[in-house]
Amino acid sequence: MTISQSLNAIATVSLRGTLEEKLKAAAAAGFAGVEIFENDLIGSALSPRDVRAMLDDLGLACMLYQPFRDFEGLPGDLRRRAFDRARAKFDLMEELGTDRILFCSSCHPAALGERARIVDDFRELGGIAQERGIIVGYEALAWGRHVNDHRDAWAIVEAVDHPNIGIILDSYHSLSRQIPSESIRAIPGDKIAFVQLADAPLLDMDLLYWSRHFRNLPGQGGLDVAGFVAEILRTGYDGPLSLEIFNDRFRSNAARLVAEDGHRSLDYVRDAAQRLIDQPTAMPAPQPVLGCEFVEFTADGSDAARLGSSFASLGFTLVGEHRHKKVTRWRQGGVNLIVNAEPKGFASAYRATQGTSICAIGVRVKDKAAVLARAAALGIKAYSPEGRPGRMAMPALRGVGGSLIYLIDDHEVEGLWAREFDAVEMDADAIGADVRSIDHLAAVVHNDEFLSWQLYWRSLFGLEARAAQDVIDPSGLVHSQALQSADGAFRVTINASDARETLSSRFLDHGFGGGYQHVALTTDDIFATAKGLQDNGAAMLEIPANYHADLAARFDLDEVLAARMADDGVLYDEDGEGAGFWQMYSRAFDKLFFFEFVQRAKGYGGYGAPNAGVRLAAQNRFRPDAIPAATL
């Protein structure tokens, strides 16, 4: 079997369904091959020859059969039986049409740790494998009885010194034990039989339980998988990169979604690894988001008028009307809000399924062509606007919940607004300046897409993940993951919940799929902003007095300041260095979205997570379905 560096593979254990369904999903996602997980084959009604025929029909190769457990270091009759099992598996592999098998380090209670005995076992096995044309890969399980470090596995393979015995490297087993990836440099590339990849959140728990339930795709966790792969590529390894994922969420997700994300994750991590060691890459580098230029809302009729009134109460001013479409531009400081009331086109179609909602965002980048090329390489779909006169001919990508992400080269921004919109006559001082920029956007997605959208932002734009948070809603738990550009110029949070009555779940129930639920706006003076909102009659979220009484005690706040915060409904948090964060919220528009106003002290990098439960409890008291749909 000839394999090349560009091939992607996936273990069937990573996907949900029958073996047949798993193979079809892998083929549809573009994988070149699969690892056949033994339990999947044993539980299948297909014979090994039937599986081989199906693989041929789908254009897939069986790149590895796995796992073979508890082989080395066994005494007496146990050793004989282990070799008999190996011969039987070699026969099965011939029927499957694969020449590679994974032998994982033994966990058997009778296994002996004598190095010479283990080396002898693999040397004898190598002779049997050579007669069959089979490559045996030895993998150090993180919880192996005597061998749990790839450095020890390599020492054994090196001592065996047989052409049919190599090492299998698995990112989870090495990185979970914090084994330096630089140690891979001691291994010649032609002795690496196979590479398996998995990421994982950084958790402190038993390694086996962590492995069996919390592995995820590269780009969805906290392990340095790119650095691990970079060291493997440095050796000259030219085999495939393969995914072996054990994850409770993946076991319930559609195989198609996991397979597509898996293929994207391998392309992403290979690209990142090649950049680390200055190797040529197949796609442009990630383009950082320089900022969110606008948020677009879809609304028509009375909803559009009410939305405009709501924006005005929040301090925004109508500054432009599109020259050819029913689209208006509202502005405050550096923030642009767009209301699209067109009866046809994308916004109208989005409105039909989601109602009055956020249908698109526009982001500034240095090179939109590079973003589009990278998106295509990662399998992220582009949206093609008509580009006729009177249309905002901006390229766009499909985003969360079917929304769009418009791409704008930074130098084109001013020309774009001047070209597309007629200015509305107003006093020179009419445009408010309390709000400076968009601090972050918050999206809600279905639980099975929670990891998928994290991979989207990280792989496409190179956003960095902050520490994940579990937020207590009065009706259940909400999982939240914040992602942001390195300089903090663009931030987005992804939220999901299994509980049916949480605010996040009710938002999803309202429409079709996920979407953006709130927009956070940056101000330099939260109290001046609060006064302006009060003067404008903005409907703001009421925070209970108990919160502010506790707040004053926790942070030793001045009585006057604490009273002012209580009057204005301002929440507060600070980090370990004493950097503060102030925030307040509008009431929700119908059942759909709301606004947050924040003031960040320099150095504060969070999102006020300790206040999230209080905010959700307050919103629960003002459930949108119990509020007249008149104002925010």
Residue type for 85, please? Answer: R
- Please give the Cα distance from 406 to 363 (Å, whole number): 6
What would the DSSP string read from start to end of 256-314? HHHHHHHHHHHHHHHHHHHHHTT---SSPPPPPP-EEEEEEEE--HHHHHHHHHHHHHT
Do the annotations mark residue 596 as ligand-binding? yes
Do the annotations mark residue 108 as ligand-binding? no
404 backbone dihedrals φ, ψ, rounded to 5°: -115, 150
DSSP state of 535: H
Structure tokens at 275: 């950049």
In the block, tokens 């065996």 appear at 160
| SS3 label, residue 517 | strand
- Please give the Cα distance from 230 to 235 (Å, whole number): 9
Structure tokens at 436: 């400076």
Do the annotations mark residue 244 as ligand-binding? yes
- Please give the Cα distance from 416 to 100 (Å, whole number): 56
Q: Are residues 455 and 265 in contact, defined by beta-carbon separation less than 8 angstroms?
A: yes
- Please give the Cα distance from 549 to 533 (Å, whole number): 24
In the block, tokens 């006057």 appear at 560
- Please give the Cα distance from 503 to 496 (Å, whole number): 10
Query: If residue 248 lies in a helix (H) or strand (E), which one and from where to where?
Result: helix 248-252
Do the annotations mark residue 479 as ligand-binding? no
Structure tokens at 352: 């039909």
Classify strands 241-243 and 192-197 as parallel, antiparallel or unpaired.
parallel
Query: If residue 555 lies in a helix (H) or strand (E), which one and from where to where?
Result: helix 545-555
- Please give the Cα distance from 364 to 417 (Å, whole number): 13
- Please give the Cα distance from 526 to 583 (Å, whole number): 8
Sign of CA dihedral 159, 165, 166, 170: negative
- Please give the Cα distance from 247 to 258 (Å, whole number): 11
Q: Are residues 618 and 544 in contact, defined by beta-carbon separation less than 8 angstroms?
A: yes
All residues at 6 or more sequence positions from 156 whose CB lies less than 8 Å from its CB, including other chains: 115, 118, 119, 122, 138, 147
Where is the binding site, in residues?
Answer: 139, 170, 196, 244, 440, 518, 596
Q: Which residues are annotated as a binding site for Mg(2+)?
A: 440, 518, 596
Binding residues for a divalent metal cation are: 139, 170, 196, 244
